[in-house]
Structure 1
Amino acid sequence: MRIYFTFEPRPDLREPLLAEFPQVEFIFEKSLSNEELQQADVLVTYGEDLTEESIQYATKLKWIFVASAGIEKMPAQAIIERGILVSNVRGIHKTPMAESMLAHILAIKRALPWMYEQQKKSEWSKKAQQTELRDSTALILGPGAIGSEVGRLLQAFGVTTIGCNRSGKEAAYMNTMISFAQLKEALPQADIVISVLPKTTETTHLLEEEHFAAMKNNAIFMNFGRGNLVDEKVLIQAIETKQIGHAVLDVFEEEPLTSDNPLWTLPNVIVSPHVSSHSSRYVERSLEIFKPSLTKWLKGDTDLENVMDLSRGY
């Protein structure tokens, strides 16, 4: 069996993989090669390098392991037509992303950005507008692995959590649950609104003008899912008209954000360039998911962890 990685794990991660699976021929490269793709039985990729054209070269390919949670940049239809199984690392991001979200929330609540600006100006001032996180309410759109982890951390700080998904079905570390249909009615309760929703047809522009109008004017809005959640013009208007207090954005409709985009300079906006999931342990955690799945695959078992339904987008 030939397994083709389109990235190179560090030697301390690669060597144990080779030792654990001596019967497998591993190919490690820093980019996608159609020549190697022609010979691969299994592909391990971040997903962004695959195209409809390259899939045509993958005549032997039976399984794609995506070392990423999102698949929106992959040629889904071409993969479906070929009957290739796809699995990913869903859940791998929960620790770094939840820590990133909590860091931003605490920084805003305790006025850290203001303090940093005062330090730059060498100004001693005690006029910081600091508030407490305790006794706040957070509404979390998409309480899956990531949303539930941030819910767990927020509950430890004495925050009430409201989870919101398509069905309203119960999720971990949520005090209450609502469906998308109940979202507008629940927004006035929230001090913090966090989205970690995937990109699907249903989530595209899920938040509209009426939703921002329903939020508290001092609410913190955070988008750490996908940029399709809200039309950028609607978001900018909500910030400019002070319908919300702060926006922390890790994802955008168009990435990278252009240098002339007003989000860079609007007050009370934090631009995080899609880095909240980054961690020095990323590949390590990816391989922790890949290895048990590979063990199953070698035995002919296709019931792998995190098998994806490409037709639904997750």
Structure 2
Amino acid sequence: MNVLFTFSPPEELLKPLKQMGDDLNLQILSSIDEENGLLSDAEVIVTYGEDLTEGHIKNAQNVKWIMVVSAGLEKMPLDAIAERGILLTNAKGIHKKPMTEFTIGLMLQYVKQLGAFRDQQREGIWQPDLKMGELSGKNLMIVGAGAIGSEIAKAANFFGMTVYGVNSTGKQMKEYKVMYTMESFKDVLPDMDFIINILPSTDKTKYLYQKEHFTAMKESAVFINIGRGDAVSEEVLIEALEEEQIAHAFVDVFEIEPLPEDHPFWKMKNLTLTPHVSSHSDDYLPRAFEIFKHNLHTYINNKNNFMNVVDPKRGY
């Protein structure tokens, strides 16, 4: 069985896989551009999900399963995969701990003025009377109440925040006080202190946030986007910030990455940007490989207990 990696994992993660079967042939590439015909013989492909094209799927004549060691699938050739009936799995769930810590960190940084104190240190200013707040008692809305959103909700509840959620059905979940749908959540935006977007990129979520959403938010609200950059048009967000419809935005994901050097985001005083790092962690790949190892054992033994099976027609 040929298992083709389109990237080079650390040897300590490959070693347990090599012990799972004598006929298991692990083929490691540093880039998909170096496949040199290996795609045509691959039965399993392991990828980060950003390098495969429809042409690659066409050339991979024997592939039966693709494992994506990330959660995002918007760059995958999903139509070609669905047409071939190829099994598709991903690493959904491995991001929830680092992204929860990252998001709680952003909110704490904001209410405790940590950025301002850092600026004061650089300038040699002693000013202990900056206004600081608390997370306790604040209303938080999490748009995308999946595995990551629910982990953030648990942490926010610990800090004494009141957490509201948004999902596709409005079905209630225990971590949230009230659950809304993507059609109804705009009505309660005026009550929210923090709004966090964690939605994937789909036809239903692209440019979900319109001008009226930001107009509905209170002027002291903070918008955080750790989902996908196309959830909100950058022009809409810039206008909302320039007109001070909201107080601040933290943005980790963008429609074009890397962000162009001349992009207005760089110089906006009420926007903090980070270079798509909310899920970064030393434990990222080890956690992803635990899922892959489970699924590989399932695949080898013809079982049916795969983790994180993705419907390529729906994109999740």
Match of 1:268 among 267, 270, 273: 270
When normalised by structure 1's length, the TM-score is 0.97
How many correspondences in the alignment?
A: 314
SS in 2 for 1:290: helix
Counterpart residue type for residue 47 of structure 2: T
**C-alpha offsets along residues 86-132 of structure 1, whole Å, 9 cap, x if unaligned?**
00001111011111111111001100010111111111112322111
Deviation of the 1:172 alpha carbon: 4.3
Instruction: Give yes or no for contact 1:143–1:172 (8 Å, CA) kept in 2.
Output: no
Instruction: Give yes or no for contact 1:52–1:78 (8 Å, CA) kept in 2.
Output: yes
Q: Which residue of 2 aligns with 1:108?
A: 110
Structure 2 distance, partners of 1:34, 1:88, is: 25
Match of 2:310 among 303, 308, 311: 308
Counterparts of residues 116-195 of structure 1 (less than 5 Å): 116-195=118-197
Structure 1 distance, partners of 2:177, 2:140, is: 10
Q: Which residue of 1 aligns with 2:98?
A: 96
**C-alpha offsets along residues 36-59 of structure 1, whole Å, 9 cap, x if unaligned?**
111110001001110111111100
Q: Which residue of 2 aligns with 1:210?
A: 212
Instruction: Give yes or no for contact 1:191–1:216 (8 Å, CA) kept in 2.
Output: yes
Structure 1 distance, partners of 2:22, 2:237, is: 52
Structure 1 distance, partners of 2:287, 2:23, is: 23
Structure 1 distance, partners of 2:224, 2:105, is: 12
CA RMSD across the alignment: 1.2
**C-alpha offsets along residues 61-86 of structure 1, whole Å, 9 cap, x if unaligned?**
00000001011111111111121110
302-311 or 196-205: bigger deviation: 302-311
Structure 1 distance, partners of 2:120, 2:204, is: 43
SS in 2 for 1:181: coil
Deviation of the 1:303 alpha carbon: 4.2
Instruction: Give yes or no for contact 1:144–1:171 (8 Å, CA) kept in 2.
Output: no
Structure 2 distance, partners of 1:88, 1:310, is: 11
Counterpart residue type for residue 237 of structure 1: E
Q: Which residue of 2 aligns with 1:31?
A: 31
Counterpart residue type for residue 308 of structure 1: V
Q: Which residue of 2 aligns with 1:254?
A: 256
Q: Which residue of 1 aligns with 2:198?
A: 196
Instruction: Give yes or no for contact 1:34–1:54 (8 Å, CA) kept in 2.
Output: no
The ranges of structure 1 where at least 4 consecutive aligned residues each deviate by more than 4 angstroms after the TM superposition are none
Q: Which residue of 1 aligns with 2:11?
A: 11
Structure 2 distance, partners of 1:74, 1:21, is: 29
Counterpart residue type for residue 288 of structure 2: S
**C-alpha offsets along residues 215-267 of structure 1, whole Å, 9 cap, x if unaligned?**
11111100111111111111001011111111000111222211111111111
Counterpart residue type for residue 109 of structure 2: A
Counterparts of residues 220-259 of structure 1 (less than 5 Å): 220-259=222-261
Structure 2 distance, partners of 1:57, 1:212, is: 46
Identical counterparts, % of pairs = 44
Deviation of the 1:284 alpha carbon: 0.2
SS in 2 for 1:16: helix
Counterpart residue type for residue 180 of structure 1: M
Counterpart residue type for residue 131 of structure 1: G
Structure 1 distance, partners of 2:174, 2:226, is: 19
Structure 1 distance, partners of 2:256, 2:174, is: 32
Instruction: Give yes or no for contact 2:44–2:64 (8 Å, CA) kept in 1.
Output: yes
Structure 2 distance, partners of 1:11, 1:61, is: 24
Deviation of the 1:292 alpha carbon: 1.2
SS in 1 for 2:128: coil
Instruction: Give yes or no for contact 1:220–1:247 (8 Å, CA) kept in 2.
Output: yes
